[in-house]
A and B are shown apart, each in its own frame.
Chain A
Amino acid sequence: MALIQLQTLWKNKILEGAQIWRYLLSMLLVAIATALSALVVWEFSPTNLIMIYMLAVVVTAIYLGRGPAILSAFAGVLAFDFFFVPPIYTFSVADTEYLLSFAGFLLLGLTISYLTAQAQEKALSAQRREAETAALYALSRDLTIIDDIDGICSTLSTHIQSILKCEVHFLLPGFEAYSSSHQKLTSVDVSEFTAVSNWVLQNQLPAGKGTDHFPAARGYYIPMITSLQPIGVFVLQPDDLLGQLSVEQLRLLEAFARQAALAIEHVHLAEQVSQIQLMQATEKMQDALLNSISHDLRTPLVSITGALSTLDEQDILMDDETRRSLIETAREEADRLNRLVGNLLQMTRLEAGAMHVVMEPTDIEDLIGAAIGQIEDRILERDIRISIPPDLPMFPLDFVLIVHALGNLLDNALKYSPPGSPIEIEATQVEQEIQISILDRGVGIPPADLTHIFDKFYRVQHPEQVTGTGLGLAISKGIVEAHGGHIWASNRPGGGTSITISLRLGTGIDL
């Protein structure tokens, strides 16, 4: 509301001098005063009639402004002289004492018109200031609830546009480029924009049309200055090209600019703080991670070194069975170490975003067969039950990566279910999705852990010692999500865990 009021207040000032009808109206008032005087001329002495003219001058001063009031004072004197001062219907004056009345009337009329106009101007500017304050307050109120730079820019443009019809563009070096407008951006001259904006940033002064700097430019360039430094410029491209910005408008816009700049600085500082906090948290996590990795890497090495050194140094004391057992231990641990290194590499690649997903139409049966191939040497006596609908179409996915993801899930199922218990693999198509579930009859997962098991290095506490790094499921999740898919775990009725990956059928591949 305040903003619309402000718009009309600015408009009033612009329109004031321009209109002739005010002068015509003041003449009409003088005419009415003359007519009134003519009605009562028989009752009063002519000198008193001048009061009626005075009334017309006052009314004119109040309602029509200073110029018309001055005109009506002069016109009133002339009309009074012409119609009521003997000799009537001439401008000549018989009695010289009337000259004193004329002078008095004129002086009084001019003074009244001056004072009235000044009072009005004061009232108007007070009103305007109040409206400007309200506008500024409204902006700062809106800015406090916004916590991103884009939001600040769009709020600022909305506020500017509610008081001025114009396009608003921003230049925020060091922040994301941002611009807002109702119109096409093409109305901004790019070379002018860059040159003037840079000047404004350097000199921290407004520039452009109607100012001392770059007056030939089409837009107004207003710096956004914080307590520390200029952080940007915003440019107004007025819709109507006639009007120049008034001093008040410019002042308000500069105040807007300061408000917005402070808000941006605030957001920026808040971001920096949260980044520092994030970095500290990351550092802490990396420490934990390194500890965990070095532990996981060393454990198999301890067994390998131990077994090999025993074989090396105490070979003659050993029977064949002991020797075999040592060798087997070393070999199993070496395999484990190899898998761990592979997982660490894969995890690093995932986190660095260096994983390239190459989607190709894939036969799901082939995929599942290859995934089982990953754990073939560890299946032993397990009963693997596979259920794949015969009419399953080919699905676009990255064969190698999904084989890896499923291999990790199968590895998990092997590790966390008792020897001899069956493992089931089920593929189903649900509308445009393929879901592949790996189901075991193991101990299941505590409900509170269901969502955490895909976190890096997260491991469910089991009474029996199961070796693992807590990376496998995180990698599977990363791979599935790189495909735009989902992965989730649930407990099966009757005991055991079910982990499902779900991939959406991509577009562009005809099946």
Chain B
Amino acid sequence: MSEQALRLLIVDDERSIRRFLRVSLGNQYQIFEAANGAEALTAVATDHPDLIILDLGLPDIDGVEVTRRLREWTQIPIIVISVREKEADKVAALDAGADDYLTKPFGIGELMARLRAALRHTLTAESESIFKTGNLSIDLSKREVLIGEQPVALTPTEYELMKFLVKHAGVVVTHTQILRAVWGSGYEHDSHILQVNISNLRRKIEPNPARPTYITTEPGVGYRMKII
């Protein structure tokens, strides 16, 4: 197989959106297109894309369901796109295994950043032990968190929370995903303790906790560790 570019599958029933994405991303990715869920499922099996952009509002199979079926056999990065006001759908897609989401309409710069973060997340998540963003650095091998040169003392829970966010740096994680990973199953609906710990964590690492730069809130969806 001769691979000069990463292969990107665009799933959207709107021809104009597929066209705009093909034109905008065509110089960086090899583009494949699907206009509905069934086509998308076939295309993933036959075209072997490295990345998928998946619209949630498909005419035949719901985008969340497409995500669920894909996740039964592949960990290929999926970015879902959806209109605003559909936060519950986004959360459902993310909890079903989508890597990130983007709200329509979006700028191409934003989309490319999401694609890069999703790729990075799947390709290198396990191998890196030091993560840096802005002034903040985390050494997972030493369990060490630094602001500049200054070590930050975190409680075990805060550290686990931090670690989970760092492992998913650049992509959004839902409340449920965090709660399940850090507190364990049974705590999925306890967003109260999550908020308290996020708040405490921000007070320790953010210059201005009321305007966070590292851990940002995505209303109704979850949190995102920003890569600056």
Contacts and interface: CB of A to CB of B under 8 A. Distances in A.
Contact of A368 (B105, B210, B216, B220): B210
A212 B210 CA distance: 81
Contact of B217 (A360, A373, A384): A373
B210 A369 contact: yes
A338 B105 contact: yes
Contacts of B217: 366, 369-370, 373
A365 B210 contact: yes
Interface stretch (B25-33, B117-125, B189-197): B189-197
Contacts of A346: 85
Given A338-B105, A394-B192, A400 B211 contact: no
Nearest to A390: B203
A399 B73 CA distance: 35
Contacts of A288: none
Interface string B203-215: 0000011111000
Nearest to B196: A363
A4 interface: no
A362 B85 CA distance: 19
A175 to B, nearest CB: 39
Interface residues of A, number: 26
Contacts of A342: 84-85
A311 to B, nearest CB: 15
A327 to B, nearest CB: 12
Contacts of B210: 365, 368-369, 372, 386, 388, 425
The majority secondary structure among interface residues of chain A is helix
A365 B206 CA distance: 13
Contacts of A370: 217-219
B199 interface: yes
Interface in A301-349: 334, 338, 342, 345-346, 349
Contacts of B220: 399-400
Nearest to B221: A400
A171 interface: no
Interface centre among A363, A368, A425 (most CB of B within 10 A): A363
Interface of B: 84-85, 87, 105, 191-192, 195-196, 198-199, 202, 208-212, 216-220
A403 interface: yes
Contacts of B105: 334, 338
Contact of A366 (B85, B195, B208): B195
A365 B85 contact: no
21 contacts: A334-B105, A338-B105, A342-B84, A360-B191, A362-B195, A363-B196, A363-B198, A366-B195, A366-B199, A368-B210, A369-B212, A369-B217, A370-B218, A370-B219, A373-B216, A386-B210, A386-B211, A399-B220, A400-B219, A400-B220, A404-B219
Contacts of B211: 369, 372, 384, 386
A67 interface: no
Nearest to B85: A345
Contacts of A368: 210
A365 B209 contact: yes
Interface string A360-390: 1111011011101100000000001010100
Nearest to A386: B210
Given A334-B105, A366-B199, A366-B217, 13 more contacts: A338-B105, A345-B85, A361-B195, A365-B199, A365-B210, A366-B195, A369-B209, A369-B216, A369-B217, A370-B217, A372-B211, A394-B195, A399-B220
A403 B219 contact: yes
Nearest to A384: B211
Contacts of B208: 386
A361 B219 contact: no
A116 to B, nearest CB: 89
Interface centre among B85, B212, B219, B220 (most CB of A within 10 A): B219
A363 B195 contact: yes
A346 B85 CA distance: 9
Nearest to B210: A386
Contacts of A366: 195, 198-199, 217
Interface string A387-409: 01000001000011001100000
A360 B194 CA distance: 12
A360 B195 CA distance: 11
Contacts of A384: 211
A361 B189 CA distance: 12
Interface centre among B196, B211, B216 (most CB of A within 10 A): B211
B139 to A, nearest CB: 27
A238 B87 CA distance: 61
A409 to B, nearest CB: 15
Interface centre among A360, A365, A370 (most CB of B within 10 A): A365
Nearest to B217: A370
B82 to A, nearest CB: 14
A388 to B, nearest CB: 6
A372 B208 CA distance: 13
A301 B205 CA distance: 44
Contacts of A338: 105
Nearest to B213: A369
B212 A361 contact: no
A6 to B, nearest CB: 66
A17 B192 CA distance: 82
Contacts of A425: 210
A373 B219 CA distance: 10
Nearest to A387: B210
Interface centre among A366, A394, A404 (most CB of B within 10 A): A366
Interface string A185-213: 00000000000000000000000000000
